[in-house]
Structure 1
Amino acid sequence: MTNKPGEQSTSSQVAKPPPPYTASPSQPTTQPNYPIIQPYPIQQQPIYVRSGERPCTRFCRAFFVAVVIWLLSGIFIRSFLSLVHWRPHHHHRPGSYAVPSDLTLSACVTGFAWSLEPFSPTSYAAQYPPGHSFLPPSAFPYSSQRTFELPLNNQRGEGNIFLLSRGPMSSGTLDVVVDPEQKKGVASVRVTVRYFREDVRDGAKACLVEREGGVSGVGVFTPEWWYTGPGVDKQLYMEITIVLPSDSADESTPLYIKRFETDLPNTLHRLGDLAKTISFGSITLQGTNAAIQVESVRMDQGSFVTKNGGIQGTFNASTSLELKTSNAPIRVDVGLHSGGGTGDTPFEMSTSNGPIDASIHLIPSTSPSPPHYKIQAHTSNSRLNLKFPPLSLPPPFSPILSLSARTSNAPATVSLYPTYEGRFSLQTTNHGVEVHENKQGGRSKRRVVMQRPGRGAGRGRVEGFVELVGVGHEEEGGKKGGRVDVRSQNALVLLEL
């Protein structure tokens, strides 16, 4: 088809693109939403390497700084622990002596005043690892000693003696013996200090001490918490020996000492066979972390107390007796004398996590009124075994016994003397109770009445009474006799009549 001049074809009008779009001034031009990557030069930064200082020098400098920091930290920590440990609990600065305020010291021995003993190279510190505590005496190669004399006011020995020790290095032993060769009216106290180093020994001090009332004794003191580094060569061992005179070989007239007292922490107490020649009005032994061992002792009243150490031996008392410890056994043979009086004679034994094995002899007098013995025996997590042998006097002079025996998680056994009269009560949990009667235990006839009180008590509880037939008070049903109460938990309770 031929177009006229000046006219455009229809196809040309259709193919012509639209005019370009021009944004209004109020609308910004749209930018691309992707980064425009253009090549550009990268300039490398120079790396400077320090030269002129060798690696060994840098290591030495760092090591020196570390050592200085370590030393300063150690000094700070030691000072801090010293303040924290002592200030809230003590009134003594480190290096001082914890002397009780009521004591007067005299004739003190310290430093070069200790008398030297010959060198004894029986053993050396190298045998024991660092930090080993409570070394035996044979581990110390050197020893020094000093002897003090304490007057026993008169020939009958009516005096007062007491010993005490203070300080962390005052542990050791105490021995009390009788020597016929000992000067009459005088008790000798020999203090022996065993050591590795003389400068450590020089810190120990032994003195004559006196307190209110004119009571004299001997005190051993070591510095409070002065730390000079680890090692067994910083330890001391104190051996104290008291030698008492023997005025007579006749047991009926023993040497009488009015009062004997010790306060010796971390010290083993050992008493020899004193009952034959010595009689104490009052004796008190107090220690910790060590045992009390007694061959025999006679006293009016006595108290033997320790912790973490056993108590064993033969004890005879006429007024009162106390045996106390913890985490250790009590194995004793005890004689309780009524002394002719009608008052009570209390006797107490107590421990924990340790057994009690005791043979208790009741020794009444011929007084018209029977004596009254009050006995307590308590432990835990260990067996309890009490035995009362036959009395030496016939039934009219039989004493009144009040017994309380306790334990837990272990059996409890009580064996009474044949002429016992009174009530009894046995109780346990998760186990049974038993009563065994010995038909051949004595000449007198007995009547035993038992019952299981309470519904549901089952075999875990028994009560009853024992009386002698022909004594004259059978109708009272044991009301005027003694009382025995034995208890345990989770174990058997046994009463032997």
Structure 2
Amino acid sequence: MIVTDSTPKTPPKSTTPLLGEASGAAPPPAYAPRVAAPPPVPIASYQGYQPVAPSAYPQRPRQSAAKRFCKTLIVALGVWLLASALFGSFYSSRRLRDTQLYSTEYPIPSDVELDEPECVPSWTDGPRSRRSSHPFSAYTNFKFDLPPETLLLLSKGALSAGNLDIATHDGDDVEVKVVVHYDQAFVRDTVKACLITRKDGEAGVGIFTPQWWRRPGNRGLVFEIQLSLPRNSKGEKLINTLFTDVSNISQRVVEGLQDVVRFNSLELTGSNGRISAASLVANTTLLRTSNGGVQIGHLMATTAIVRSSNGGISGTYATKGPLELRTSNGAIDVSVAVTSDSSNKTPLTMVTSNGKLTAVVDLISPSASTPKDLTFPVTARTSNGALSVTIKELPLDAKLDLQARTSNTPATVGLPLTYEGSFSVKTSNSPSLVKRLGSSERDPACPKNEDCKARSRQVETRMIRKTAAEGVVYWDEKNKKRGVVTVTTSNSPLTLVL
């Protein structure tokens, strides 16, 4: 058992002296030995603080207004020079970059000479263009005598694009106006345009642009070229030869030119542009382009060649000799008249691909009596496009050699009553049909409204199978092998009308 002492060891609160009271009583007993008091700290004698007055700050003398102005001017001039150097360097680098966008070489034909070494045109600012991508325009003019041999107009280069109009004017000189539409002046300034010569008697105008390594859309040029030929007020003007060779430019001969100008030789050539004319008259004609069609209202020529690609050929063509119409990936839709008065073969060629071929053909002899062995070779060929060829007229006793062919589309060929010779038709997966116009055909050897001993027309047909047939047609049995007509297609019906 643990017994606790309940007696407090500390005196009760009633007997505990207060601090105020304790201060006057004797100190409590020390529990440690007394320590001697530290020696007194010497106290410095008091001395009054003497403030130290700061030394006077040196003042700069005030500058005059003129001197301050000069310093400001020098600083401003330095900033201006620095900014000029910075922006000048940027501009120079940009100009250098722009000049590196194109080649310094121009596609000038090797046989062409420039009348001016630099060939820099004198541009006159024109009105604002309606073209959003080419808002500015400028023009220059050329005027010169009609050359005795060949009038030239060339436009070559990657930036060449636009239109060429061939017209006439009252006067004795040739006039050429060149209008250029552009977005940036430095691109326009790359153009070379001046008078050119080729051989003796051959002269004209050349327009050349450089090859661009890369061509943003707004850095192209669009040309509007007008070639104005002199016309004779007393009658028809004969121009020996007109030769054009233009890139990315469409050519148009304005209406009425045929009434006042005739060409001995007409050569309109180009690329990536169409050729169109209301009417043309020339002895020898060459119309050639690419990626554009050829549309001629009426052409009269001794011989004519019309060529294109990725574009159609249409119009009326009349020649006194060979005629060639050739394109690809485009339709041929023409009326043709070929006249021949010699024993030489006078061929007619019409060829395309991936397009329809429609032709109405007159084969003519101007003589009252057909020359002996007069032959008309006719080729009509396409693919993946319907073929329709009608020979409306053929001289009596003339020989026709017709080869007509297509594929995967219908073929129809019509022959005149004057045709005598053999025929052969062939297709696949569809019928071949040989039709006769009627049984009351009039003998073409008998003049109209005159009695004569008329002959009877004979048609002999042999069906090889449903898809092929052959035979002969004649008025005189001795002529049953005179002409040859062959028509073929595939996967479509075929019709031959006699």
Q: Distance in 1 between matches of 2:237 and 2:138?
A: 32
CA distance in 2, matches of 1:441, 1:116: 73
Aligned to 2:371: 369
Name the CA shift for 1:107/1:94 in 2 (closer, same or farther; >3 Å).
Answer: closer
Report the counterpart of residue 199 of structure 1 in structure 2.
186
Q: What displacement does 1:347 show?
A: 2.0
Measured in 2, the distance between the counterparts of 1:147 and 1:440 equals 67
Partner of 1:270: 252
Per-residue deviation at 1:214? 3.6
State how 1:50-61 maps to structure 2 within 5 Å. none
Change (3 A) 1:110 1:199: farther
Residue 97 of structure 1 and its aligned partner are, at CA, apart by 0.6
> Quick one: distance in 1 between partners of 2:113 and 2:290?
25
* Match among 454, 464, 488 for residue 471 of structure 2: 464
Deviation at 1:382, TM superposition (A): 0.9
Question: How has the CA–CA distance of structure 1 residues 479 and 222 changed in structure 2, closer, same or farther, with 3 Å as cutoff?
Answer: same
Q: Evaluate the alpha carbon distance shift between residue 275 and residue 491 of structure 1 in structure 2; reply closer, same or farther with a 3 A threshold.
A: farther
In the TM superposition, what whole-angstrom CA distance separates every residue of 1:52-97 from its partner, at most 9, and x where no partner exists? xxxxxxxxxxxxxxxxxxxxxxxxxx9xx99xxxxxxxxxx82421
2:105 is matched with 96
Please list, as runs of the form range in 1=range in 2, the aligned pairs for 1:485-496 lying within 5 A after superposition.
Answer: 485-496=486-497
Counterpart Cα distance in 1 of 2:379 and 2:403 = 5
Instruction: Name the aligned partner's letter for residue 160 of structure 2.
Output: S
Distance 2:210 2:344 in 1: 47
CA distance in 2, matches of 1:450, 1:140: 69
Partner of residue 164, structure 2? 174
Structure 2: how far apart are the matches of 1:346 and 1:418? 21
Q: Aligned partner of 1:144: which letter?
A: Y
Partner of 1:302: 304
Match of 1:36 in 2: none
Provide the residue aligned with 2:480 in structure 1. 478
Matched, 1:160 2:167: no
Matches within 5 A, 1:5-44: none
**3-state secondary structure, aligned to 1:224:** coil
The amino acid across from 1:475 in the alignment is: E
Residue pair 2:141, 2:175 contacting (<8 A) in 1 also: no
Q: What secondary structure sits across from 2:438 in the alignment? A: coil
Give the alignment's TM-score, normalised by structure 2.
Answer: 0.65
Question: 190, 197, 204: which one pairs with 1:210?
Answer: 197
* Change beyond 3 A, Cα 1:183–1:124: same
SS at match of 1:331: strand
Q: Secondary structure at the match of 1:199?
A: helix
- Kindly provide the amino acid, as one letter, of the partner of residue 146 in structure 1: N
Contact persistence 2:182–2:220 (CA under 8 A): yes
CA distance in 2: counterparts of 1:387 and 1:272, whole angstroms: 31
Deviation at 1:234, TM superposition (A): 0.9
Displacement, 1:265? 3.5
Which stretch of the first structure deviates more once superposed, 205-214 or 342-351? 205-214
Determine the C-alpha separation between the residues in 1 that align with 2:320 and 2:429.
39
Match of 2:390 among 380, 387, 391: 387
CA pair 176-484 structure 1, distance change in 2 beyond 3 A: farther
Q: What is the aligned residue count? A: 368
Contact 2:195 2:204 in 1 (8 A): yes
Task: Determine whether 1:240 maps to 2:225.
Answer: yes
Distance 1:100-1:462 versus aligned 2 partners, 3 A rule = same
Kindly report which structure 2 residues correspond to 1:57-76, keeping only aligned pairs within 5 A, or say none. none
Determine the C-alpha separation between the residues in 2 that align with 1:123 and 1:189. 23
- Rounded Cα–Cα distance in structure 1 between residues aligned with 2:352 and 2:219: 34
1:99 positional shift: 1.3
Q: 1:434 to 1:219 in 2, by over 3 A?
A: farther
Q: Output the amino acid matched with 2:170.
A: Q
Code of the residue aligned with 2:208 in structure 1: it is F
1: CA distance between counterparts of 2:198 and 2:233? 31
Q: 2:353 corresponds to which residue?
A: 352
C-alpha deviation, 1:381, in angstroms: 1.0
Counterpart code for 2:462: Q
Residue 425 of structure 1 aligns with an amino acid whose one-letter code is: S
Counterpart residue number, 1:151? 146
Correspondence for 1:424: 423
Pairing of 1:256-295 with structure 2 (within 5 A): 256-273=238-255, 278=262, 279-295=281-297
Unaligned residue ranges in structure 2 (runs of 5+): 1-96, 263-280, 444-455
Give yes or no for contact 1:263–1:287 (8 Å, CA) kept in 2: no
Q: 1:475 to 1:399 in 2, by over 3 A?
A: closer
Superposed CA offset, 1:152-195 (max 9, x none)? 53xxxxx4334433212223233334x4x4335x5544433322
Shift of residue 219 of structure 1?
2.9
Mark the structure with the bigger radius of gyration: 2
CA contact (8 A) 1:260 1:282 kept: no
